[in-house]
Structure formats: structure tokens, C-alpha cells
Amino acid sequence: MKSGNWLWRALGLTTLACLCALLVGFGWALRDTWFPQDGLAIPESPEASTATGGAWADKPELFVTSLGDSLTYGVGDTTGQGYVKRVTDRLADTLNKPVTLVNNLAVNGSQTKQLLASFEQSGVKYAIGKADIVLLTIGGNDLFQIAQEGGSIAEGGDVSPELLEARLPEATPRLEALFKKLRSLNANARIVYVGLYNPFYDLPEMRSGSGIVAKWNAAAYALAEADGNATVVPTYDLFETNIKRYLSGDHFHPNAEGYDRIAERIVQALN
């Protein structure tokens, strides 16, 4: 009888331990959804570091800083790499030199106004100033403001072409201010802006939204041309023709393959 009690106790303790491990693992897997992070922390610096400029071929190492929203953070990629890690790895291979990420400062849900405000932080100034390349995604949350209670993202939520059009005039000047502020913090870095796409192109009522997205991208192209050392990498065609293939299950962010295609285009633009 005692041996039987011991066996049941052992089984009970083993079951409890397995349940605890399962709950911890589940919580860890959803940590980015429950507690979104604000990018990797970097030490505060009393002085901004400045990129040296000059041709990349003359530099033994290149430094990259990435900024923006959840696309730069890598949401939707089950591998955890996003496009940023893929870009730095591929650039290192193609250029045959170290390509080091100073920091990924992306914040889930960030809009242009939040990103502009972050430029006043000394740590952000340091990371931008040190970079030879600045990778940037921003604007998707300015236009596609999915309300938490406005319906599922897969159904479009509170999104409509009319709302996109209404948000464009207010958001576009902030994009211009953002480009100017970036350049004031680093006169030499190549700015790489990843253009927007319409994640709801497969919904007939949202196809005309691509025209508004095109206006936003056109504004970014004009800013890049005026800057002289900035590049806009197009993505709209990738997703309009391959939404099911390249979007993650949330119907908004890229999946691993989608991020891989974005990274491929960025590297092509930088070579």
C-alpha cells in the first residue's frame, strides 16, 4: 500500500512539473505579444558617435542601426531574424567584411510621431550617429491604424481606403521631418527606407487602398532623391501578388519568407 501511495505521489509531482514547464514555455513564446519590447537597450553616451564617411571599400567594418516599427522589429517571423539580421549577414558575405548591428531600436506599433520623439534620446542619437547604414520602416501604423476593438485584422478592422486617404496629409509632413532629423544626426550614413505595401490587397474593398500607399511611397521617393544618399526599397509588388505566400497569420506582417525577400532587395540596393 505504501509503495502504491509513493507511486501516485511521484506521478503527481511529475505531472505538476510538466504543467509548470508547459506554462512557462507558453508565456515565453507569447512574450512579444503580451510585453512588447522597445528594441535592445544601449548604454547612454555623453557624446554622439559620428560615422567617418568615405567609401565603404575603405572601411574594415560597417555599422548598421535599424529604426522604426514592428517590421524592423521582425514581428511575424517565426525564425526571429526579421529582415535586419538577414541584411547584416548577407552584406557581410557580399562585402567580405564585418557588418555589425549597433542596435535595433524598433518599437512595435510605432508611428512617425513616436519615432521623431525618440530622436531626442542620447542613446538613439549615439546609435544613429555611429551608423554607416540606417535601416528604416515607418508609416504603416500611421495609415493602417487598426483599432483594438475595430474588428479582426484579417477582416480589415477599422481600415478603409477613405481612412487611409484622410490620414495621408497629416502623416506625410512627419515623414519629411523624420528624414531631415536623421540627416542632421548623421551626415554620411546611407538611409534605407523600406516602402509600404497594402496587406489587405486580397480584400476587394481594400484594393483601391494601394493607390494611397503609392502616394506615401512617392513622397518617400521624393525625400530620398532630395537627400542624395537615401534609398527607397519597394515592397508593394511582392505582397500584392503573393499575399498568402509572404504574409504571416496576422494578415499584416511578413512571414519569414516575406522578410527574406525584403532583405534580398535591400542588399541588392546597397551593392
Residue-wise pLDDT for 185-236, tens only, equals 999 999 999 999 999 999 898 999 999 999 999 999 999 999 999 999 999 9
Contact yes or no for 130/58 (Cβ under 8 A):
no
Q: What is the pLDDT of residue 10?
A: 54
User: Phi and psi dihedrals of 106, rounded to 5?
Assistant: -65, 145
Q: Which band of pLDDT confidence, cut at 50, 70 and 90, is reported for residue 145? A: confident
Q: Which residues does residue 99 pair with via DSSP β-bridges, in sequence order?
A: 62
Q: Give the pTM.
A: 0.79
- DSSP element (H, E) containing 232: strand 230-233
Q: What is the pLDDT of residues 233-247, one digit of tens each?
A: 999 999 998 999 999
Q: What is the pLDDT of residues 64-120, one digit of tens each?
A: 999 999 999 999 999 999 999 999 999 999 999 999 999 999 999 999 999 999 999
Cell of 208: 483601391
User: Phi and psi dihedrals of 66, rounded to 5?
Assistant: -115, 140
Q: What is the pLDDT of residues 58-80, one digit of tens each?
A: 899 999 999 999 999 999 999 99
* Cβ-based neighbour number of residue 76 at 10 Å: 21
Cell of 41: 537597450
Q: Which band of pLDDT confidence, cut at 50, 70 and 90, is reported for residue 38? A: very low
Contact yes or no for 251/200 (Cβ under 8 A):
yes
Cell of 132: 554607416
Q: Which band of pLDDT confidence, cut at 50, 70 and 90, is reported for residue 5? A: low
